[in-house]
């Protein structure tokens, strides 16, 4: 028989306001602008605030340290291209690289079916210009065979830039060497690609019976090939980095500005407030509708203000904890964790994570992602604590300066790091090298 029990449970839940604040805090400047426009469309009581210029000048400053008398004076020149149009003018048409390829397809005499298949293939190219799906999937979709699609794919391989539509790196390079099939470079890519990828030069010499000088000429030609023909062709506005924060030094102190100039100041329409407060509306459903949307608008406005203040506080704490960086020593970062900033400004670590994830700051030394200021530290036997970032930068300089004919292996890198003052283990060097994107010494070797 079921028993009825009474239990006292302590449970923490988030209010709608807290959920809204958290969701807005994790948005970057571009996405926040889109969110504001969306909210203006769905909430009729929310509207942009139209402030006269003379009134804006008389508005009191809540945080003299974090604002500027003339915001335009401190707008960095490198956020946008110098030749950009004013924001109130229409933007010029930006053609995606797929559009340029479709224009080239028009130059070929294709049937309607062939053109449709060509368009399907082109729209499945990735950012590198490679075919991003198996050709079998496209064939199955149209109840065709791969052999039916091969002639269309061959036409796409003739488009500019060469290499477009390749299914892998080897095919991309062979497309670019199509007119050089009698050369050693073509033979190496076609028949000895695995040896080429692993830089087994002696093996290639033996198999092709070529001299070292002939191999050097062929390798120079291969090095000129473009492994990513689609890169640099896509002109997508979403790929442009727009800083969320701007910091500038003024009279010995750092001025912090939240860069959200594309977002208008918001307010609740006073006419709707008057209707609700004066009980001009008798319908209970209408009054409930007004109250819900007025509350939602107020929460939204408050959440945006809270976002600005939180990001200022986080940036201020980062500046205080990284004095060497903001003195111009951009390679000198102190070990710092999210929890350090959370403790300093009295907020939860999840709030700090949302404030820094995907956000960028424009400094006098360049544009940096906020999370790049956070790095683990390593404590040595002499008591020194050095950030991983600093060790990685030293390792990067060592690898970039090495003799490419005789690259340094991990043991040699360990020895050089010890000389530089960083006694790290070999496995640590291997991990940092991989994180920096450098392969093992054998694969870094050049003729």
Give DSSP secondary structure letters for 400-427: HHS-TTS---HHHHHHHHHHTT----HH
pLDDT confidence of residue 14: 53
Residues of the chain above pLDDT 70, percent: 81
Higher pLDDT, 135 or 235: 135
pLDDT band (50, 70, 90) for residue 256: very high
What's the whole-number mean pLDDT along residues 321-336?
Answer: 85
Instruction: For residue 255, give the 3-state DSSP assignment.
Output: strand
Average pLDDT, the chain: 80
pLDDT > 80? residue 95: no
Contact of 256 with 315, CB cutoff 8 Å: yes
Contact 166, 157 (CB under 8 A): yes
The yes or no reply on domain 97-223 and CATH 1.10.10.1330 is: yes
Does residue 133 surpass a pLDDT of 50?
yes
Per residue, the 3-state secondary structure of 275-335, as one string, reads HHHCCCCCCHHHHHHHHHHHHHHHHHHHHHHHHHHHHHHHHHHHHHHCCCHHHCCCCCCCC
Q: How far apart are CA 229 and CA 226, in angstroms?
A: 6
Give residue 93's pLDDT.
40
117 pLDDT above the threshold of 70: yes
| pLDDT of 248 strictly over 90 | yes
Residues whose CB falls within 8 Å of the CB of residue 86, separated by 6 or more in sequence, listed in order: none
Q: What pLDDT is stored for residue 78 in this prediction?
A: 40
Cα 253 to Cα 263: distance, rounded to the nearest angstrom: 27
Host H or E run for residue 250? strand 245-250
pLDDT at 240: 66
Q: Is 175 exposed, middle or buried (0-12, 13-18, 19+ CB in 10 A)?
A: buried
The answer to whether residue 55 scores a pLDDT higher than 60 is no
pLDDT in tens, 270-311: 888 888 777 766 678 888 888 888 889 899 999 999 999 999
What is the reported pLDDT for 316? 94
Give the residue, 281 or 321, on which the prediction is more confident.
321
More confident residue, 262 or 405: 405
Query: Considering the chain, what percentage of its residues have pLDDT values greater than 90?
Result: 24
C-alpha closest to that of 21 among 362, 358, 348 = 348
Looking at residue 90, its pLDDT comes to: 40
Q: Which two tokens stand for residue 187?
A: 């033979």
pLDDT digits (tens, 9 = 90+) for 429-443: 888 888 888 888 888
| Among candidate residues 360, 337, 367, 299, the one with its CA nearest the CA of residue 24 | 299
Count of H helices and E strands in the chain? Answer: 20, 8
Fold category of 377-444 in CATH = Arc Repressor Mutant, subunit A (1.10.10)
Task: Lowest mean pLDDT of 120-134, 145-159, 311-325, name the range.
Answer: 120-134
Q: Residue 180 is inside which H or E element, if any?
A: none
Q: How confident is the model at residue 260 (pLDDT cuts 50, 70, 90)?
A: confident
Beta bridge partners of 247: 256
CATH 1.10.10.60 domain span(s) along the chain? 377-444
Which residues 6+ apart lie within 8 Å of 223 measured at CB?
none
- pLDDT digit string (tens) for 170-187? 999 999 999 999 999 999
Phi and psi at residue 438, to the nearest 5°:
-100, 130
Peptide bond into 123 cis (omega under 30): no
* Neighbour-count burial for 56-71, b at 16+ CB within 10 Å, e otherwise: eeeeeeeeeebebeee
C-beta of residue 390 within 8 angstroms of C-beta of residue 333: yes
Give the Cα separation of 123 and 98 in Å (integer).
7
Instruction: Judge whether residue 234 has pLDDT over 70.
Output: no
Q: Torsions phi, psi of 64, nearest 5?
A: -65, -30
Tokens of 220: 């120079």
- Provide the pLDDT for residue 65: 41
Strands 366-369 and 377-379, bridge-based pairing: unpaired
Question: Beta strands 253-258 and 245-250: pairing type?
Answer: antiparallel
**Per-residue DSSP letter, 130:** S
The secondary structure element, H or E, covering residue 47 is strand 46-48
Token couple for 180: 């050089």
pLDDT exceeds 60 at position 246? yes
* Residue 350 contacts residue 365 (beta carbons within 8 Å): no
**Cβ distance 263 to 33 under 8 Å?**
yes
Provide the pLDDT confidence category of residue 1 given band limits of 50, 70 and 90: low
Please state the rounded mean pLDDT for residues 250-265.
84
Calpha distance 262→260 (Å, rounded): 5
Can you read off the two tokens belonging to residue 143? 């109840």
What is residue 218's predicted lDDT score, i.e. its pLDDT? 92
Contact of 363 with 257, CB cutoff 8 Å: no
Q: Which tens digits make up the pLDDT trace of 346-382? A: 988 878 888 888 889 999 988 888 888 887 777 676 6
Residue 98 has pLDDT above 80, yes or no: no
Kindly report the pTM of this predicted structure.
0.52
pLDDT computed for residue 180 by the predictor? 92
Backbone angles phi, psi at 280, to 5 degrees: -75, -15
Residues of the chain with CATH 1.10.10.1330: 97-223
């Amino acid at each position: 028989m079921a028993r009825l029990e009474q239990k006292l449970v302590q449970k923490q839940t988030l209010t709608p306001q807290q959920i809204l604040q958290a969701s807005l805090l994790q948005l970057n400047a571009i996405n926040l602008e889109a969110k504001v426009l969306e909210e203006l469309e769905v909430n009729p009581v929310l509207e942009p605030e139209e402030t006269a210029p003379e009134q804006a000048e008389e508005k009191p400053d809540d945080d003299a340290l974090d604002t500027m008398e003339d915001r335009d004076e401190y707008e960095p020149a490198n956020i946008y291209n110098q030749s950009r149009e004013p924001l109130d003018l229409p933007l010029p048409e930006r053609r995606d690289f797929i559009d340029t390829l479709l224009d080239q397809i028009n130059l070929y005499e294709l049937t309607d079916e062939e053109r449709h298949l060509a368009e399907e293939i082109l729209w499945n190219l990735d950012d590198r210009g490679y075919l991003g799906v198996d050709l079998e999937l496209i064939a199955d979709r149209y109840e065709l065979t791969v052999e039916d699609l091969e002639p269309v794919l061959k036409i796409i391989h003739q488009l500019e830039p060469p290499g477009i539509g390749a299914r892998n790196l080897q095919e991309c390079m062979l497309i670019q060497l199509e007119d050089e099939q009698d050369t050693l470079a073509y033979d190496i890519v076609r028949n000895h690609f695995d040896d080429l990828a692993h830089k087994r030069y002696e093996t290639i010499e033996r198999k092709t019976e070529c001299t070292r000088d002939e191999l050097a000429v062929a390798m120079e030609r291969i090095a000129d090939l473009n492994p990513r023909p689609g890169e640099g062709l896509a002109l997508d506005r979403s790929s442009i980095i727009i800083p969320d924060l701007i910091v500038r030094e003024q009279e010995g102190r750092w001025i912090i500005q939240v860069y959200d100039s594309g977002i208008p100041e918001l307010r609740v329409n006073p006419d709707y407030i008057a209707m609700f407060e004066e009980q001009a509306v008798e319908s209970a459903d209408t009054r409930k509708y007004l109250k819900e949307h007025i509350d939602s608008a107020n929460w939204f406005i408050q959440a945006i203000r809270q976002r600005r203040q939180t990001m200022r506080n986080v940036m201020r704490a980062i500046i205080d904890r990284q004095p060497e960086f903001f003195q111009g020593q951009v390679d000198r970062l102190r070990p710092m964790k999210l929890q350090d900033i959370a403790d300093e400004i009295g907020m939860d670590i999840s709030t700090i994570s949302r404030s820094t994830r995907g956000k960028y700051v424009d400094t006098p030394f360049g544009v940096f992602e906020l999370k790049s200021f956070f790095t683990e530290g390593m404590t040595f036997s002499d008591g020194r604590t050095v950030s991983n970032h600093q060790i990685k930068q030293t390792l990067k300089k060592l690898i970039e300066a090495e003799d490419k004919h005789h690259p340094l292996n991990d043991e040699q890198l360990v020895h050089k790091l010890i000389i530089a003052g960083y006694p790290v283990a070999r496995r640590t060097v291997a991990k940092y090298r991989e994180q920096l994107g450098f392969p093992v010494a054998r694969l870094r070797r050049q003729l």
